[in-house]
Amino acid sequence: MRSIRRFLIITLLAIVTLANFVAAVRGYLGSMDEAERLFNQRMMQQVDLLNYALSGLTEQVQHQHDILLLPERELDKGASLELQWVANDGQLLARSAAMPTTVVAPLKAGFTFVNFDHYRWHLLVTPSADNNSWFILAERDDQRYRLAESMILQAVYPMVLAIPIIGVVIWLVLAIGLKPIRRLAEELRQREATDLHPLDQHDMPVELAQLAQSANDLLRRLGASFAREKRFSGDAAHELRTPIAALKIHCDNLLQEQAVPSDTALRLQAGIQRMHYLVEQILVLNRTAPDHFMGQFEPVNLTVLVKEMIAEHSAALEAKHHHIEFDGDESWVMGDRLALETLVNNLVGNAIKYTPPGGRIAVNTWLRGRSVVLEVMDNGPGIPEGQHERVFDRFYRVGGDRHYSHTPGCGLGLSIVKQVVDLHDASIHLTPSRFEHGLLVMVTFAAYVPSAQDIKNMRSNPLSHTHRTLGDDTSADE
């Protein structure tokens, strides 16, 4: 993945290094020229000194037979300056120890290069002030070069050393400079999918404020379209429920008017029932979808809720002569009441629907340590093991549309159950029933320990025994 920080660090370091390198090369070359000039100047000063020291001595020295030998001085560093003193006729008057006994260059004034003694030498050949003799000053080129270079490198080293230090500094500065971006990213990452509050633009650098402004515009548009969609679900509910209610009551009236209900009227009733069921299930699916969920979590006495939901199915249980039993510990969970009712309703409704008449159904809520296990078990046909995963898919029906029980349904019931399970961070598990055959559905929630206030609230809840939820009258007519 591309990283602004990495890009900036690499680019800046490359630029700094390159600039340093160019500066160093330029400095090196410039300094070398300068050093050359300095060394040459030194030679010329030496000549002045020699003129001063040796003026008038030429005659005297010329009559001696021996060549004057200047002692050799060991230098640990730098370039040693060597000398030959030559009479106008080419006779060597004096030399330093490192110089050969022959004159190393023609007597022609000026700077020149000469090779001898395995080295390359810088020479300054110049006549003495009285024009009686010549001075030849020599410096080894390699020594000169090494001295100049070591001096220049002393100056260039810090530049090289500075590069990693500059790198670290750039890294730190970028870290500080890019902090607002990281903070913004973190804030966006930690948001819930449903949180569409605008970003806080306070304290934000200009560059990011623009981005945040655009993001806020986007969030606002998104929020508006969410609100529209939510309104649409509400409107759709109203728009669909009213005509279904009209159909339903006319159909009920028709059945009432007929002394013996006709097949056609009964089929009409079943069709309306099915349409009602489908519409309700789609609405519930929409309402419990994680992105739309607007419910509120509160402590819920699952045991009482389960019993109420079973009571809501009284008519259907009676019609199919099922034997239903409840047993279990009083169990509380943190959850959305409406969503939990839908969950229990769909599970109990399925058990009633798919179990042949005269069947057995057992519902339990067990406290298992820190978990609450809701069990709904029947002795119906069950679901083949291989289809356990698929039953949670939307519109999937066991055995396809030609279900042996001819039970109307839309294949959304268990998708809704799964959605509610996910909403509560619970888990769902299908296994064979403990009866001789059939299905056992286990939903495991985190247990909630109720406070005295919760228990009191439950007793005074005016709706706990009156409200009706999805599925009661639907299953009643099957």
Partner 1 sequence: MQILLVEDDALLADGIMNAVRQAGFAVNWLSSGKAACTYLVAEPPDILLLDLGLPDLDGMEVLKLVRQKKLPTQVLILTARDSTDAKVAGLDCGADDYLTKPFAREELLARLRVLERRLGNASSAVISVGSLNLDTTHQQVWLDGEPLALSRREYMLLKALVEHVGVIQTKEGLEAKLYSWGDEVASNAIEVHIHNLRKKLPDQFIRTVRGIGYMVPHP
Binding site for partner 1 (CB under 8 A): 234, 237-238, 241-250, 252-253, 256-257, 276, 304, 307-308, 310-311, 314-315, 317-318, 324-328, 337-338, 363, 456, 459-460, 462-468, 473, 476-477
Shortest Cβ 190–partner 1 spacing (Å): 29
Shortest Cβ 259–partner 1 spacing (Å): 14
Shortest Cβ 436–partner 1 spacing (Å): 20
Shortest Cβ 425–partner 1 spacing (Å): 22
Q: Considering the complex, state which of residue 125 and residue 285 has its C-beta at the smaller distance from partner 1.
A: 285
Q: Considering the complex, state which of residue 84 and residue 301 has its C-beta at the smaller distance from partner 1.
A: 301
Q: Considering the complex, state which of residue 212 and residue 440 has its C-beta at the smaller distance from partner 1.
A: 440
Q: Considering the complex, state which of residue 141 and residue 477 has its C-beta at the smaller distance from partner 1.
A: 477
Shortest Cβ 370–partner 1 spacing (Å): 24
Q: Considering the complex, state which of residue 32 and residue 240 has its C-beta at the smaller distance from partner 1.
A: 240
Shortest Cβ 470–partner 1 spacing (Å): 8
Shortest Cβ 473–partner 1 spacing (Å): 5
The answer to whether 74 and 148 have CB atoms below 8 angstroms apart is no
Q: Considering the complex, state which of residue 189 and residue 465 has its C-beta at the smaller distance from partner 1.
A: 465
CA 65 and chain centroid, separation: 92
Q: Considering the complex, state which of residue 77 and residue 459 has its C-beta at the smaller distance from partner 1.
A: 459
Contact residues for 324 (Cβ-Cβ < 8 A; gap 6+):
310, 317, 360, 361, 362, 363
Shortest Cβ 286–partner 1 spacing (Å): 13
Q: Considering the complex, state which of residue 125 and residue 304 has its C-beta at the smaller distance from partner 1.
A: 304
